[in-house]
Chain A
């Protein structure tokens, strides 16, 4: 082998190895994150963590039950608003929209999806917190729903588009009106994909902290309604992690483990649905 070729081969080997190193480094990050969280969070997890209210720093036996319930409440509210709106808008985009208006809505949905979550929080503050004159679970739920709507809409549209043309035509040829075809044939055919998208969307908003900071604020106690400041899992992690108390740090680790566990389980099961489902019925 002539020297220049040897040099080229050496470069080839070095660079290809480097790309492999990049792949190993990037894909092992998740395992490091998960492992570290399991190690630190596992130590602080116990039953009282899930059933008790927070206690002051230094005391033992405290939990974050109110934050878990608060998170569920706000994510539930966001789902209640976001899923129907997103679904309907997705159906419109896929089945009814003309070229220009469809493009406009699609573009706007992508734009809304790209708005930084802290800005979503500011928006929810101006439209809910300011008129109500109080931080509330309602404001938090609305903020989260604003993130869920565009995700659901675009995802629903995408999976409806993948329903084979022949199924639409078959339904229409049998005399079904368009909405009957949509409601009884097209949407059911795409339901797995749509469900997956919804699960992923809900998982994503349940980990959001920034939109809740000045909408739901936080609460040391059980909240008594939608119009009260409400604790949530991500905000508790933030507050505890940045406080200077050792006992709060342990709570933050445990809360982080719970949150990450929920998010990862949702993501993995969503992917399983997609890969198992072989997308569409024949």
Chain B
């Protein structure tokens, strides 16, 4: 440290570039906070794992396949909740994917830029609406509507299938699916629109020059070109639907059963944790609920990772072409 050369050598060690007077401190401080993110996330996984230990040890993998949920006898199985979570998310995508992709196509291909931006702004604001607000509105509008109009109509037309049978309460899988659809399409629209807009102009022009109609060029050329980004947006929506808690808790009917009928009451992982956790007494009950949280965590992480991978691939491809 006595000569300048030595100083340069010592200071040029950490990560990238030349750090000088005070820089190590800044580096160390910011590094500490960055490390904190890593630490907190690892702690989260560890806590979920250790707090669910009593339940994991008692039920093993049978937890995932058992239909029984009985706090009195301390018997717990996750299947009705996993079923409800997957079913409501699937219903949500069934509604929000066509609606969202259709809207994204209109916004990127047809609408004049100003209108497109204005409508996208409204859609993106919708994504900021807290989920408890959706639940509040659904309780007083969607549930009565399902009970008096939509439910009976579906039953009279499609009542011969197993999917629309039983009494109509207004609450249930389909109602939750509709609410989740409203909460997921903002993501699908805004990401899909970006992906569609990054498709090179030449692709459209080539198709139109060959005599394709606007729709043919859009559906057969532009949409397939942006498909990875669109898939990414769908997975992003799926991850949100899987983990969504409040709105679903308020409309699904909270009954731990497995029914084929979409009009029946059900339950989801997030909803059961939200509605039963504060009342849970006893070690096994509590840890079974934490284990449900762990299952949900793993499920959403896998879907999120897939979504990010897909979006990463498309945006890279897009930027190379541009």
Contacts and interface: CB of A to CB of B under 8 A. Distances in A.
Given A12-B215, A122-B48, A242 B125 contact: no
Contact of A114 (B31, B136, B239, B245): B239
Interface stretch (B34-42, B160-168, B226-234): B34-42
Given A18-B102, A36-B137, A96-B15, A263 B36 contact: no
B273 A96 contact: no
Residue among A27, A33, A111, A241 with the highest chain B CB neighbour number at 10 A: A27
A9 interface: yes
Given A19-B105, A89-B30, A114-B300, A260 B129 contact: yes
B19 interface: yes
Contacts of B214: 12, 16
A139 interface: no
Interface residues of A, number: 90
A108 interface: yes
A241 B111 contact: no
Contact of B102 (A12, A23, A92): A23
A278 interface: no
A231 interface: no
B37 A105 contact: yes
A11 B219 CA distance: 11
A233 B18 CA distance: 49
A87 to B, nearest CB: 8
A80 interface: no
B97 to A, nearest CB: 11
Interface stretch (B69-77, B115-123, B146-154): B115-123
A119 B297 CA distance: 7
A185 interface: no
A53 to B, nearest CB: 21
Interface string A105-135: 1001111101111111111011100000000
A249 interface: yes
B130 A209 contact: yes
Contact of B133 (A19, A98, A260): A260
B245 A37 contact: no
Contacts of A101: 15
Contacts of A43: none
A91 B123 CA distance: 31
Interface residues of B, number: 93
Contact of A19 (B110, B126, B213, B274): B110
B310 interface: no
B131 interface: yes
A125 B47 CA distance: 10
Contacts of A77: none
Contacts of A97: 15-16, 34
Contact of B27 (A96, A200, A237): A96
A241 B250 CA distance: 9
Contacts of A84: 33
Nearest to B185: A26
A89 B26 contact: no
A78 interface: no
B278 interface: yes
B29 interface: yes
Contact of B250 (A15, A116, A118, A238): A238
17 contacts: A8-B216, A18-B102, A26-B99, A29-B126, A37-B133, A40-B140, A85-B37, A88-B32, A89-B34, A91-B30, A108-B41, A116-B296, A210-B131, A238-B246, A242-B250, A263-B129, A264-B129
Which 5 interchain pairs have the tightest Cβ spacing? A116-B243, A207-B130, A22-B102, A179-B26, A92-B30
